[in-house]
Amino acid sequence: MFKKILIANRGEIAVRILRTCREMGIATVAVYSDADRQALHALEADEAVPIGPAEPSQSYLSIDRIVAAVRQTGAQAVHPGYGFLAENAEFAARCEREGIVFIGPPAEVIRSLGDKITARQIMQKSGVPIIPGMLEAAHDPAAWAAGAEAIGFPLLIKASAGGGGKGMRIVHAPADLAEACRAASREAAAAFGDGTVYLEKFLPKSRHVEIQILADHKGHTIHLFERECSIQRRHQKIIEETPSPALSPALRAAMGRAAVAAARAAGYVNAGTVEFILDPEGRFYFLEVNTRLQVEHPITEMITGLDLVRHQIEIAAGRPLALTQDDVCSRGHAIECRIYAEDPQQNFMPSPGRIAFFQEPTGPGIRNDCGVYAGFEVPVEYDPILSKLVVHAETRELAIRRMLRALKSYAVLGVKTPIDFLLDVLASAPFQAGETYTDFIASHFADWGPDRQTLELAAIAYVADAMAPKAQPGGRPEQAARPGPWQTLKHWRL
Amino acid sequence: MDYKLKHNEEVIALAVETAGDGLLSATVGDKKMEVAFARISENRLRLVVDGRQILAFVAETSDGKAVMVDGRTFLLADERTTGTRPRSGAASGPKLVTPPMPAVVTQILVAQGQTVEKGQGLLVVSAMKMDTILTAPFAGVIARINVAEGQKVAPKQVLVDIEPAAANEEVHG
């Protein structure tokens, strides 16, 4: 087993990874940019190495600087987390060349699955259902028109190198096709350095359901059930749950088999996620493979009791996967809410700033994967995720209630968060009925505003705060609030 | 005592009477509430509003007090302290080229002396992986660009000065 692992990431995911390393007795190295000198991940690791300025391209995305930090600290392996270099085939290849273990799939697998057209070809050859559409790149209006004629409208233009909704366009009529393709191609070229686009059928009323897989170096591959991730804003997930309310046991088994087939077809090793689109008739189509640990992996850990990061590290160290498909079972229901520094009233615009007060929810069945603390300045340079609040309970209904309880006691003051928005989504009839489709927020919460009654209570709290005396500065401010054991312990004996 | 608290663009008026130590009654609209309150710590207050116990969290921020009750956080500011300022911010706000949140300038799309149309993209700012294009609030000529690419900027900071094309344009724009 490795003695030391460098975590090439920041925030909550870096913290989450180093905790498993610590449990495994593996020393951890954090890297941090100038903006992250006091970030939680840098403070919690055994060693922390500065890797440059705040700009991601000069720090967390700099392959040379990460490799130099590995060399400097003598780490044997690198865990890339998600985002940044996690799905960068060049980085994985560089690690391979330098004799550093990359905790993830081989570079060649990342490369072929990162190209959506190549991935579609691989899946089609191995019998995994793909969304009807093109299997080759199209570069001119004649090819786009021919493709569109075969597919029909509405259709979706996608960037082959794409991700995060960039280079993506929905087209409803032939007249708009050529211009939309050109615009999508420009956007893709700017974002990914590759303007290749292709067309596929647009499925309007659909769900996003993904299957977690694990594969070892010997080709032994299993799945760890699904995650339903249909509640999205700006093509980014904000609530995920498992099991999906839309899957029957038969459909779950079929999608699990398809995901395992997809992983085998691609020569997959380590943890990965096969994403599918599920239509209302229960037909599913391959979307893409995420060749990394997913943001929402904790809900799978909750229902299976498995530590995915531990399995990633063991597989990367060359150990065979001891689990068989029959060993894996699912218990209860888990939900995750992503807590971003963002303003749900301003179209989820990022809201960086200093966290003035922070209190996490606690209690039965609650897990909060968190990368911040009170006093931390949330930097503008990075993804605004603060934490992922996860609950586990016996049933979906109980998990929803548990999440409502947890959200209500989660205090994040100083930056805006979607906590109150999430409360209203979870309490809504369509969510509780499991009507979770990718258009959920646009359909049900386009005009969301904060709760009036609570606003009045908050106004009263404001007044009470102004009237209640504060402790003297320089005194012992919380003395009254925090009595020592001699005041609180009553009858006791040794 | 009366309080006027600003929340976003709205003002909430409270008529507050103190009824002894740690007791008050507050009227909001036509609703009167009896409140007992006590400070637990710097950021925590215990309220009992019409018999229901509520734990509230309060923190000072640069834009007022952030107050959380039942998982819902509101940013409230006293009108008496914010209202005394000239209201120029609200009136001229939409006319200024300023970022909606703290951000980094990633691209400047215009040059000094250039004529721009209303709605034309002037610069791109990026915050937390999201790009926003700031557009010209009215037609005119770029008088000055106050920032450089890579610079950190904040709301209310004017990034580009525009000389309006015509006086009446500015009034109606």
At residue A488, the pLDDT reads 57
Q: Is A147 exposed, middle or buried (0-12, 13-18, 19+ CB in 10 A)?
A: buried
The minimum CA-CA distance between B101 and chain A, rounded to whole Å, is 6
Q: Is residue A111 part of a domain?
A: no
Distances (CA, A) of A65 to A46, A86, A111, A147: 19, 15, 22, 44
Catalytic choice (A120, A292, A338, A367): A292
Residues A215 and A326 placed together within one structural domain of the fold: yes
Q: Identify which has the larger pLDDT, B170 or A386.
A: A386
Residues A434 and A305 placed together within one structural domain of the fold: yes
Give the side-chain half-sphere CA count within 13 A for A334: 25
Residues 21-60 of A with CB under 8 A from B: 55
Which candidate, A273, A265, A294, A336, places its Cα nearest to that of A81?
A: A294
Return the residue in B53, B69, B107, B134 with the most chain A beta carbons within 10 A, the one to mutate for interface testing: B69
Residues A177 and A236 placed together within one structural domain of the fold: no
Distance of CA A64 to the CA centre of its chain: 26
Residues 380-419 of A with CB under 8 A from B: 380-384, 407-414, 416-417, 419
Number of domains chain A contains: 3
Q: Is residue A457 part of a domain?
A: no
Handedness of CA A111, A117, A121, A123 (dihedral sign): positive
- Domain containing residue A162: CATH number: 3.30.1490.20
Residues A68 and A165 placed together within one structural domain of the fold: no
At residue A487, the pLDDT reads 53
From the list B35, B61, B104, the residue facing A380 with the nearest CB is: B104
Which candidate, A385, A363, A391, places its Cα nearest to that of A301?
A: A391
Assess whether A292 carries a catalytic annotation: yes
Q: Is the pTM of this model over 0.90?
A: no
From the list A349, A354, A457, the residue facing B101 with the nearest CB is: A349
At residue A298, the pLDDT reads 98
- Domain containing residue A18: CATH number: 3.40.50.20
From the list B5, B24, B128, the residue facing A350 with the nearest CB is: B128
Cβ distance of A457 and B69 shorter than 8 Å: yes
Residues A355 and A412 placed together within one structural domain of the fold: yes
Chain A CB within 8 Å of residue B134 CB: no
Q: Is residue A78 part of a domain?
A: yes
- Shortest CA distance from A352: residue in chain B: B102
Distance of CA A197 to the CA centre of its chain: 25
Handedness of CA B137, B142, B143, B149 (dihedral sign): positive
Write out the residue range of the structural domain in which residue A282 sits: 207-444
Chain A CB within 8 Å of residue B14 CB: yes
Residue found under tokens 């259902």: A129
- The helix or strand, by DSSP H or E, that contains position A405, with its residue range, turns out to be helix A396-408
Amino acid (1-letter code) at residue B20: G
Residues A366 and A393 placed together within one structural domain of the fold: yes
At residue B90, the pLDDT reads 40
At residue B82, the pLDDT reads 56
Cβ distance of A352 and B44 shorter than 8 Å: no
Residues A165 and A239 placed together within one structural domain of the fold: no
At residue B87, the pLDDT reads 41
Chain B CB within 8 Å of residue A150 CB: no
Residues A83 and A157 placed together within one structural domain of the fold: no
- Domain containing residue A416: CATH number: 3.30.470.20
Residues A73 and A43 placed together within one structural domain of the fold: yes
Per the CB < 8 A criterion, the answer to whether A265 and A276 are in contact is: no
Angle at B27 between CA B22 and CA B31, to 5 degrees: 125
Residues A83 and A22 placed together within one structural domain of the fold: yes
Work out the pLDDT band at B118, boundaries 50, 70, 90: confident
Which candidate, A3, A55, A15, places its Cα nearest to that of A309?
A: A15
Boundary (domain end) residue, out of A185, A201, A217: A201
A336 three-state secondary structure:
strand
- Residue B71: DSSP 8-state: T
Q: Which tens digit of pLDDT belongs to each residue from B129-158?
A: 777 888 898 889 999 999 998 898 988 889
Mean pLDDT of chain B: 85
Collect all residues of chain A within an 8 Å Cβ-Cβ radius of residue B40: 481
Q: How many contacts (CB atoms, under 8 Å) link A and B?
A: 178
Per the CB < 8 A criterion, the answer to whether A201 and A132 are in contact is: yes
Residue ranges of chain A whose pLDDT lies below 70? 164, 472-494
In order of their start, the domains of chain B are 2-82 (3.30.700.30), 97-167 (2.40.50.100)
Q: Identify which has the larger pLDDT, A291 or B168.
A: A291
Cβ distance of A465 and B65 shorter than 8 Å: yes
Cβ distance of B60 and A356 shorter than 8 Å: yes
Per the CB < 8 A criterion, the answer to whether A68 and A88 are in contact is: no
Q: What is the side-by-side order of every strand in the sheet holding B121-127? A: B130-135, B121-127, B103-108, B152-153
Q: Is residue A471 part of a domain?
A: no
Q: Is residue A248 part of a domain?
A: yes
Boundary (domain end) residue, out of A144, A170, A201: A201
Backbone φ and ψ of A55, nearest 5°: -55, 125
At residue A482, the pLDDT reads 54
Distances (CA, A) of A350 to A48, A149, A165, A378, B157: 28, 40, 17, 10, 17
Residues 147-166 of B with CB under 8 A from A: 150, 152
Boundary (domain end) residue, out of A86, A103, A120: A103
- Shortest CA distance from A467: residue in chain B: B22
Identify each DSSP E strand in chain B by its residue range: 2-7, 10-18, 23-28, 31-41, 44-49, 52-61, 64-69, 72-78, 103-108, 115-116, 121-127, 130-135, 140-145, 152-153, 160-164
Q: Which residues neighbour A145 within 8 Å (Cβ) at sequence distance 6 or greater? A: A174, A177, A178
Per the CB < 8 A criterion, the answer to whether A329 and A314 are in contact is: no
Q: Is A119 exposed, middle or buried (0-12, 13-18, 19+ CB in 10 A)?
A: buried
Residues A73 and A180 placed together within one structural domain of the fold: no
Which candidate, A225, B27, A49, places its Cα nearest to that of A10?
A: A49
Q: Is residue A139 part of a domain?
A: yes
- Residue A133: DSSP 8-state: B
Pairwise CA distance, residues B120 & B103, whole Å: 20
Chain A CB within 8 Å of residue B124 CB: no
Residues A157 and A85 placed together within one structural domain of the fold: no
Q: Is residue A481 part of a domain?
A: no
Collect all residues of chain A within an 8 Å Cβ-Cβ radius of residue B13: none
Q: Is residue A490 part of a domain?
A: no
Which candidate, A10, A21, A166, A29, places its Cα nearest to that of A83?
A: A10
Pairwise CA distance, residues A194 & A214, whole Å: 30
At residue A494, the pLDDT reads 59
